[in-house]
Chains A and B, each alone.
Chain A
Amino acid sequence: MEIERLVYMANQIGRNLATEDNPAAATADHIRLFWDPRMKAAIAAHFVAGGEGLDAVVRDALTGS
């Protein structure tokens, strides 16, 4: 999967869930519920590799994944 596209999608989710009580948890939950395993694996690997381009809320979301 093209990682730039996944980073964009994850950041977009994070921005739209910014008003939730716990935006990071809501973002993590959304990715868990709606992303295919290869997409989850790709964004997790990208995060482990430094996570270039990921917003803070997404980084927090991926920390627990």
Chain B
Amino acid sequence: MNGYTPQADFGTPEVSADTVVTLTIDGRAVTVPAGSSVMRAAAECGGSIPKLCASDNLAAFGSCRLCLVEVEGMRGTPASCTTPAADGMVVHTQTPRLQKLRRGVMELYISDHPLDCLTCSANNDCELQDQAAAVGLRDVRYGYEGASHLGAEADTSNPYFDFDPSKCIVCSRCVRACDEVQGTFALTIDGRGFASQVSAGQAGDDFLSSECVSCGACVQACPTATLQEKAVKQIGLPERAVVTTCAYCGVGCTFRAEMRGQQLVRMVPWKDGKANRGHSCVKGRFAWGYAHHQDRITSPMIRDSVDQPWRIVGWDEALDYTASKLAAIKAQHGARALGGITSSRCTNEETFLVQKLVRAGFGSNNVDTCARVCHSPTGYGLKTTFGTSAGTQDFDSVMDADVIMVIGANPTDAHPVFASRMKRRLRKGAKLIVIDPRRIDLVHSPHVEAAHHLALQPGTNVAVLTALAHVIVSEGLADEAFIRERCDWDEYQDWARFVADARHSPEALEPVTRVPAGELRAAARLFATGGNGAIYYGLGVTEHSQGSSTVMAIANLAMATGNIGRRGVGVNPLRGQNNVQGACDMGSFPHELSGYRHISDAGVRALFEGDWGVTLDPEPGLRIPNMLDAALDGSFRALYIQGEDILQSDPNTHHVAAGLAAMELVIVHDLFLNETANYAHVFLPGSTFLEKNGTFTNAERRIQPVRKVMEPANGLEDWQVTQALANALGLDWNYTHPSEILDEIARLTPTFAGVSWERLELDGSLQWPVNADHPDGSPIMHEAGFVRGKGKFVVTDYVPTDEKTGPRFPLLLTTGRILSQYNVGAQTRRTANSIWHGEDVLEIHASDAENRGIGDGDWVRLTSRTGETTLRADVTDRVAPGVVYTTFHHPATQANVVTTEYSDWATNCPEYKVTAVQVSLSNGPSEWQEEYADLTARARRIAAEAAE
């Protein structure tokens, strides 16, 4: 196919070994790491041994009998996939005997395979077809009249791929991919001998009703059209492929966008991707249909007030209108009345430009980003303790961990591809400690069982971590040698005295944390003595009134046990959105410029002022919640929001709505008329990740290219829109490609000094810091010493949240995510993923449900002191009595109507994880839901439609 090359497959996995062996294959000498298979060795030297059941992301299976070889001095014809290469071995892969055997094997396969190649969706992309040609198959002596599977019915239940058992050769690659790569164990081979067939789940299940998570690993592994993307059937095979980076979670999977003209056929995980190593999840693999969804707006629109319908205008009119409004507000109310929000879904270059527009164009530091509501405490906590605002490891590091502690994170749902890596390590024997109010899937899933699940009371993270530290210090389990060498010893002693105090013992804190003291002590001992200890955490850590304290407590724990600065250990924030790390790196916070340098630093300011030709405000700007507060008092009046939906994502929806409604000018730059756009005066259409060039930075600090695979539907990439707005304001920006913005970032940001588009093209990706000290990047940080010099122990006293339960609101609500939906759902709700999660539901324990007369599936009213909504109940023991849980993916539910304005003391990150609520049976939507539905219908009118 023109421009399309399948990904190389070496047959069996790459082996890492200290020694090598040299063998001869078909007369050619080849040297490979000891332990490599003969098949791998042959592929390494450019040879190709026929195969069907082998793939280099799966353990050798030795089933298909097609890869037979002859080895001098060895009897028979061993399978090359299961035969280890040995020194001096002489191998022949093409002999008359082997050809005869292989043809015989292939005849058997083909005798039970439909001969419909010309009309098959995999025609020209089928390994069975390729191997039939490779072995020289010319006829099938057995005929086609005998028993066969050709009449087997296809399973089309999955929205993204079909399973056609009539084409199955029972090579087990799909089953093994589900087991070894994904770790779900949803598939099996049912039956024996001729009756063997691939089966999803239990008898009677189809793919949709089974435990399959639609990661696509089985589809990728299938050598025939048995498991095939529906899109390939509809569109045809791709004709070119472009490597790019996924725009969903912070794992940052690399994909090949496989195209047919301007049409995306499929996203296939790239095997050379260093974050995902060839794996994917249901979102990145399949849920890209939103890019051409009918709801997408591709023309600019304006209106003078939000009660008017939108008016479609050209770019010039929209930008002139916006610029004149901004200028007028600035003239009347000053620069500090203007601000902007950068997007964690946009590229580094786009984010950098938005914050530059705010600082250099608007003239204020009122710029913030959605990390405010997720990982801002990570930035504060890790900068304070280690000296830099980022995780310490690469994802590969988990394969060297002996004890994995997961705190307030649900990787199988929120970071599924990394979760599969973690599960692979756990299946090999690493121990798992889960600290979470809910029984997340990792606690108990196929072949994974947590050694300890500390099901703490929401809001008591700091108390639990202090209790863990208490055990480690008081039982003499701290790594004093590490601490003396790498940390400030005096600060450690202060901290050690604090945590060793009897009031911080697990027993003393058990009434607060509700974690059994014995279980907690055992977990502490395991973490301190079990070998390499790695901590992974998520928003269950940060989204609390003590989010920053919890991050610092985690850092304390890692330092106290010497678990920093090498593979297999570390402190690893699992970032929510694809470019949260990058948005933070790019200077999106109101108090700091790119590279986490404070705006009050005159030297740093001078660097930017010299480059940009402006004078910068030396004072920190407003954070998002402060912007909304200031809007209500009239001192903040205009907001440019790129790629975020704060009305749905931020806490206390009523307050957010009031703040937005109070502004004179709200500019929404997005793909869709999102919830925030209900209060907007200007809508600037955005471009998807498929339509732009740039870079994303994932949770392991890996900077990866995003490559344009199709032209923007709106005509402009997002950085071009921001540049056009800047120029309408009188700035003189002339970037012609994001690489030029990246050069500016590198010029102004020491940790990015060695990053360029050319380097990324060459290396594929780079992990910052990339500079003179780390020319090839930094997979592991703090190896020789902490960025700040000595690691800083910070005393983190437990301060209970002010959000209290009581007679009116006796339950604690905690919120989170689900696998098939992403953040506010703007993208995933516009895909077939909604088949798995069409609405938010409320998890409630059976005892709490029983007390309220609530049955599974009943409509219930969820009420807090800030608001109420209704949704269906899911009665479960996944949550503890007294705790309820829901997601925030659907605006019709709008879980944030209920959440409060309590926030982290250091960063104002909202306390989404603790809201006192009451739950009762409901017979209809809440008053707010009805009002909001009306408001949305009015706010989304577009003039042409309104005139009809």
Contacts and interface: CB of A to CB of B under 8 A. Distances in A.
Interface of A: 1-2, 5, 9, 12-13, 15-16, 18-20, 30, 33-39
A2 B633 contact: yes
Contact of A19 (B545, B620, B795): B795
Interface string B592-626: 00000010100000000000000000011110001
A38 B336 contact: yes
Contacts of B908: 9
B906 A36 contact: no
B547 to A, nearest CB: 11
Nearest to A20: B795
B626 A36 contact: yes
A16 B906 contact: yes
A30 B600 CA distance: 13
Contact of A37 (B336, B545, B546): B336
Contact of A36 (B598, B621, B797): B621
Nearest to A15: B799
Contact of A35 (B336, B620, B799): B620
Given A18-B797, A36-B622, A36-B630, 9 more contacts: A19-B795, A30-B906, A34-B591, A34-B906, A36-B590, A36-B619, A36-B620, A38-B630, A39-B626
Contacts of B578: none
Nearest to A5: B629
B635 A38 contact: yes
B498 A19 contact: yes
B546 A16 contact: yes
Given A1-B635, A2-B629, A38-B635, A33 B591 contact: yes
Contacts of B545: 12
B144 interface: no
A19 B797 contact: yes
A13 B633 contact: no
A5 B907 CA distance: 14
Q: Which of A1, A18, A20, A34 has the most CB of B within 10 A?
A: A34
A12 B905 contact: yes
A12 B903 CA distance: 10
Given A16-B546, A19-B498, A19-B795, A36 B366 contact: yes
Nearest to B907: A34
B659 to A, nearest CB: 11
A16 B795 CA distance: 10
Q: Which of A2, A20, A34, A36 has the most CB of B within 10 A?
A: A36
Nearest to A42: B633
B748 interface: no
B632 interface: yes
Contacts of A30: 906
B335 to A, nearest CB: 11
B322 interface: no
Contacts of B907: 34
Nearest to A3: B633
Nearest to B339: A36
Given A2-B632, A2-B633, A16-B549, A33 B600 contact: yes
A9 B939 CA distance: 34
18 contacts: A2-B629, A2-B632, A2-B633, A9-B908, A12-B905, A13-B905, A16-B799, A16-B905, A16-B906, A33-B591, A33-B598, A34-B906, A36-B336, A36-B366, A36-B590, A36-B621, A37-B619, A38-B635
A5 B905 CA distance: 12
Contacts of A13: 905-906
Contacts of B633: 1-2
A38 B590 CA distance: 14
A38 B626 CA distance: 10
Interface string B898-939: 000100011110000000000000000000000000000000
Nearest to B635: A38
Contacts of B635: 1, 38
Contacts of B622: 36, 39
A13 B600 CA distance: 20
Contacts of A33: 591, 598, 600, 620
Given A16-B906, A37-B336, A1 B630 contact: yes
Given A36-B619, A38-B336, A15 B905 contact: yes
Contacts of A16: 546, 549, 797, 799, 905-906
Contacts of A39: 622, 626
Contacts of B600: 33
B695 to A, nearest CB: 28
B629 A1 contact: yes
3 closest Cβ contacts across the A-B interface? A19-B795, A16-B905, A12-B905
A22 to B, nearest CB: 13
Interface in B181-215: none
